[in-house]
Structure 1
Amino acid sequence: MWLSWLNGLLICTGLIVAIGAQNAFVLQQGLRRQHAWLVAGICALCDWLLVGLGVLGLGALIAQQAMLMEVARWAGAGFLAWQAWLALRRACSRHALVAGGREQASWRGALAATLAVTLLNPQVYLETLVLLGAIGAVQPSPLGFFFGAAMASFGWFFGLAAAAGWLAPRLASQRVWRAIELGIALILAWVAWRLASGVMMPQL
């Protein structure tokens, strides 16, 4: 139970911390104090729903097929390795996160924008339904894995919204930004190695 929970926590953290459109949007709303908690809650809820469907549904179906498990394992490892390489490249560049964009005047606008940023990104389905779902389905405790992933999602999005004012100016610092991206690259590379080596995807 606890090992599955820890796997869910670490794997989801490695995926979710990678700076992208969704995290930038949460940070933006937090800085503007515009429905930041609503935005964070929607992001976390979408993660919970998709990971749950993956672990209990699609992930379980994949786990029953040895060939599909191999495809999921290598596809997931390749995807994470590519993301790690991109993060490493960003760590060596001068780009920094810019939380900007159009105003969100109403909670309905914030709701629609958050759903669009979250669900119109094909990457989210690969990460949650396929990758996390397939890994979670073969854990000793799939439910423990789900709770670990849910805790990572909850902690990250609400923490990001709460700390937006403190984080934004520091993310503009090249030194801090590069350290963050380097940390992301190391986490993703570690997870990719564990997937490729079969540690997290045992043969069935």
Structure 2
Amino acid sequence: MICYLLPFFAGFALSASLIVAIGAQNLFVLRQGLKKEDVGMIVLFCGLSDALLIVAGVSGMGAFLNRVPQLSTAFALSGALFLAWYGLKSLQRAKNQDSMTVTQAQSVSLGKALAAVAAFTWLNPHVYLDTVLLMGTASTAQPIALRPFFAAGAASASFLWFASLGYGARLLQPIFAKPQAWRVLDMLIGCIMLFLAALLFWQGGQHIF
């Protein structure tokens, strides 16, 4: 039993260290959690996406991506455009929020929410670097028979993190009962999105030029 737990917790620890960071996907999950909108579906989508990418990395897809740098460039530029659009939208929303509270925050349909989180997830080249390349490389330290346990541990960390972020956001609701808190959050989201967009444009442009 111990021989199975060691790779499981190795994958869990590595995944947790990579995923707990301020990023576009995490900020979107946090915002949905604060609004209590489709939290279960958003958490499930993020967890399943990470699990799929982790399994792909452990299965050897990372080697393929290394041989096709054009694919990473396409993801970087597409992701940059989306992040820039969403960042500007967040800043505009912050500018117009004169009396918004947690119960009045703008609602979006489930379809639009899933489309947004899908873009944050699949158009971010860093997610492939972390979950496919890095996790895939780290898994090679485990015997082949134990790699599924490594992948299971890594995926479990993702599910736990997104569930904690989405459902734990309600603990912040007393703060976001104040309209000013929403303005600060959207300004923060907008600035981070634009920064990440600029970073992706720079990284993608390096491969083109």
Question: TM exceeds 0.5?
Answer: yes
Q: Indicate conservation of the 8 Å contact 2:7/2:149, yes or no.
A: yes
User: Runs of 4 or more off by more than 3 Å in structure 1?
Assistant: 100-104, 167-170
Q: Cα gap change, 1:168/1:134 in structure 2, threshold over 3 Å: closer, same or farther?
A: farther
Aligned equivalents of 2:106, 2:140: Cα separation in 1: 41
1:86-138 per-position Cα deviation (integer Å, ceiling 9, x unaligned) = xxxxxxxxxxxxxx879452110011001001111110000011000111133
Distance 1:3 1:168, change over 3 A: farther
- 2:20 is aligned to 17
| SS state at 1:163 partner | helix
Q: Does the 8 Å CA contact 1:48/1:150 hold for their aligned counterparts?
A: yes
DSSP-derived class of the 1:138 partner: coil
Query: Residues 177-192 of structure 1: matches in 2 within 5 Å?
Result: none
Matches within 5 A, 1:24-43: 24-43=27-46
* Residues in 1 aligned to 2:107 and 2:25: alpha-carbon distance in whole angstroms: 15
Q: Partner residue of 1:158?
A: 163
Q: Answer yes or no: is the 8 Å Cα contact 1:30–1:165 preserved in 2.
A: yes
Work out which of the residue numbers 146, 150, 160 in structure 1 matches 2:151: 146
Larger radius of gyration: 2
| Partner of residue 129, structure 1 | 132
Where structure 1 has 5 or more consecutive residues not aligned to the other structure, the ranges are: 63-67, 69-99, 171-204
Q: Offset at 1:28?
A: 0.2
Aligned-residue identity in percent: 43
* Equivalent position of 2:109 in the other structure: 106
Number of paired residues? Answer: 135
Report if aligned partners of 1:104, 1:110 keep a CA contact under 8 Å in 2. Answer: no
Please say if residues 34 and 172 of structure 2, whose CA atoms lie closer than 8 Å, have aligned partners that are also in contact.
Answer: no
User: TM-score, with normalisation over the residues of structure 1?
Assistant: 0.60
Query: Does the Cα contact within 8 Å between 1:22 and 1:118 map onto a contact in 2?
Result: yes
- Judge conservation of contact 2:36–2:170 (CA < 8 Å) in 1: no
Partner of 1:190: none
Match for 2:166: what amino acid? A
TM-score (norm. length: structure 2) = 0.59
Q: Secondary structure at the match of 2:60?
A: helix
Mapped partners of 1:32, 1:41: distance in 2? 17
Q: By how many angstroms is 1:58 displaced?
A: 2.2
Runs (5+) with no aligned partner, structure 2: 67-92, 95-104, 176-209
Per-residue Cα deviation, 1:149-191 (whole angstroms, up to 9, x for no partner): 0110111101111110214778xxxxxxxxxxxxxxxxxxxxx
